[in-house]
A and B are shown apart, each in its own frame.
Chain A
Amino acid sequence: MASISIENVRKNFGAVEVIKGVSFEVADGQFAVLVGPSGCGKSTLLRMIAGLESVTEGDIKLDGKRINDVPPDQRGIAMVFQSYALYPHMTVAENIGFSLELKRVPKARIRAQVGQVAELLQLSELLDRRPSALSGGQRQRVAIGRAIIKQPRVILFDEPLSNLDASLRVQMRAELQRLHQELRPTIVYVTHDQIEAMTMADTIVVLNCGNVAQWAHPIELYRRPGSTFVATFIGSPRMNLIRGMIARQEVMPSFTAAEGWTVPLAGRNLTAADGQPVWLGIRPEDIRLVDAGSAADLSCKVAIVERLGAETYLSVVNGAETLLVRVQGDVALRPGDTVQLALDPAGFHLFDQTETRF
């Protein structure tokens, strides 16, 4: 178990700067998730922690010690590859026990340890099979087994669930969490799926093309996203962003949407100027439908209705604005119906022109 410290790390591939100064820390035993859009350098960062890519600038520290120049096989770090990389010519048992074999651990010990790991991962019946005879989920567990048997200080996961079908993914998420609770290794997990991030992480690093957009606890990211990027990336369905401006009406500041409706912004210490263009962010779950006649903030026309049974998603239109509303339970609305919306002030997020929170 170890803590990881990424300090101002940069990575260039030739003339292209892929990682542009990233800093964050993962405490001992934490489950950290690196999340962000595909192709933004998350895997590169992971590989740098593993030692498979060099660091152009900055430091990577393990338990406080700089490991930039330590070869990958000497870092005490295990990695679960996106493709699993199970040795096709070896059985499951041999795959898992390979690292022990290399260290010349006696066969009996290897068998015992492999057996333990196999039981933990429910692979005991598959020990004599070859990878080609396994399903995706099984292969993944073998890859995990291969990692944990080394009792590494850190386990790295590179998008391990992206090739599994939906139900298997849910199952594996639970498994990974269980493993983490039982064994408590330090985990750095890369994914582009924010649901995986939110459900499993102790701390999330949101990456936006080589930069850290925000680094915080999942709920903190949910409640106080630092930028429109994070706000729309975290949370599903994504947050609504409404253009408008601040108006300081003598006594109370308010937000006026481009479409004309206004909501008061009570109890906020705003340092914004009158007429300053801003974005108002509000999550679909913070918008309520109100009956005609009650106080409403704006009125819209329903465009699309998605009924999931336990909840309903409504895509509503007001002029040039389109909002997504999430309603509990089933609502029998039809496209073309008019609805009244009330926005919960506790769910307001304000972002200025540079798209950062204020």
Chain B
Amino acid sequence: MTYETRMAWQNRLLLVPALVLLGCFILIPAVTAIYLSFTNDALSGYAASHPQLVGLKNYLRLFSDQGFWNSLIVTLAFVFGSSIVGQFVFGLAAALALRRPIALRPLFNAAILLPNAVPEVVAGFIWISMLAGGRYSTLSRIVGLIGVAPQNWLESAPLLMIIVVNTWRGIAFAMILMTSGLSAVPAEVYEAARMDGATARQIFWHITLPLLRPTIFLYMLVSTAGTIAIFGLIYTLTRGGPGGATEIIGIYIYNQSFVAYQLGYGSAVAVIMLAVSVALGAVYVRVLKVRV
């Protein structure tokens, strides 16, 4: 057997465990979800013991379900506000700022990293103190200093609040990725640009940003997908309320499956969510022209 064939077999073998893990615990359930969505399976009641195929009934139900559409819109706003705008802008700005000679850099780094380092449940927990309780919440007390009336933030502006919380949480990830992307740009490129007479703004738009494109792709993709999948953070904060105002799609599915016990219906929503995620991945790959 030649060296090359030996290596080829070795590569195949090395991938088997990964394939098994991913296949059993992700791919098979994904396919099963598709199957389930065509049934009326449930956690209780007659259908639990005798699930039947019901064709597209679940999907048709989705179309006229106000809750579903609401959830979709909430999720879109959530993803756009926190992941695409909030985290990215803060993260990129932080990455750029920290590339300069800054005193106390470790301190700034650590502070920005902290929100991302803590587990979801803790993050939700501490923001409750920030936001709930009307006059006594920390946020009310802060904005009170500039004359804004205290409110029960989680009730008066729930969507905005979860966007803020998720932005707070995700700056670090954006910053880390942007930093590594920025450092992959060799210093000589900037020097050449400066010798060509480019201003800082031109350098940013025409050199830094284009060279950051693959990094930005990776960030957008992973961050968006991750944000869609968020559950614990928001569940701890609002459980999806009030009145579905923060019922992001993950919570909607959970409520439909484990609270309303509608496994079939919940699976249908899950399948839609899977399809959207996959479509997202495809769009990003195409638009940002990434090659693997």
Contacts and interface: CB of A to CB of B under 8 A. Distances in A.
Q: Pick from B1, B2, B5, B6 the residue with the most CB of A within 10 Å.
A: B2
Interface in B238-263: none
Interface of A: 51-54, 68-69, 71-72
A9 to B, nearest CB: 14
Nearest to A51: B3
A72 B2 CA distance: 9
Given A51-B3, A54-B4, A71-B6, 8 more contacts: A53-B3, A54-B2, A54-B3, A54-B5, A68-B2, A69-B1, A69-B2, A72-B3
A53 B1 CA distance: 12
Contacts of B1: 69
Nearest to A71: B3
A216 to B, nearest CB: 32
Interface of B: 1-6
Contacts, number: 14
A54 B7 CA distance: 12
A178 to B, nearest CB: 33
A69 B2 CA distance: 5
A69 B5 CA distance: 11
Nearest to B2: A54
Nearest to A53: B4
A68 B4 CA distance: 12
A66 to B, nearest CB: 13
Contacts of B2: 54, 68-69
B227 to A, nearest CB: 38
A67 B49 CA distance: 67
A51 B7 CA distance: 12
Contacts of B5: 54
Nearest to A72: B3
Contacts of A51: 3
Nearest to A52: B3
14 contacts: A51-B3, A52-B3, A53-B3, A53-B4, A54-B2, A54-B3, A54-B4, A54-B5, A68-B2, A69-B1, A69-B2, A71-B3, A71-B6, A72-B3
A3 B3 CA distance: 22
A112 B105 CA distance: 48
A54 to B, nearest CB: 4
A51 B4 CA distance: 9
Contacts of A72: 3
Nearest to A73: B3
Contacts of B4: 53-54
A72 B1 CA distance: 12
Contacts of B6: 71
Nearest to A54: B2
B188 to A, nearest CB: 17
B7 to A, nearest CB: 10
A52 B2 CA distance: 9
Contacts of A54: 2-5
Contacts of B3: 51-54, 71-72
A72 B3 CA distance: 7
B214 to A, nearest CB: 24
Contacts of A71: 3, 6
Contacts of A53: 3-4
A51 B3 CA distance: 7
Contacts of A69: 1-2
A334 B2 CA distance: 62
B48 to A, nearest CB: 55
A26 to B, nearest CB: 21
A51 B2 CA distance: 8
Shortest beta-carbon contacts, A-B, top 4: A54-B2, A54-B4, A51-B3, A71-B3
Nearest to B7: A52
A72 B60 CA distance: 63
A183 to B, nearest CB: 27
A54 B3 CA distance: 7
A186 to B, nearest CB: 21
Contacts of A52: 3
Nearest to B5: A54
Nearest to A47: B3
Contacts of A68: 2
A72 B7 CA distance: 12
B287 to A, nearest CB: 30
Nearest to B4: A54
Nearest to A50: B3
A245 B6 CA distance: 57
A69 B4 CA distance: 10
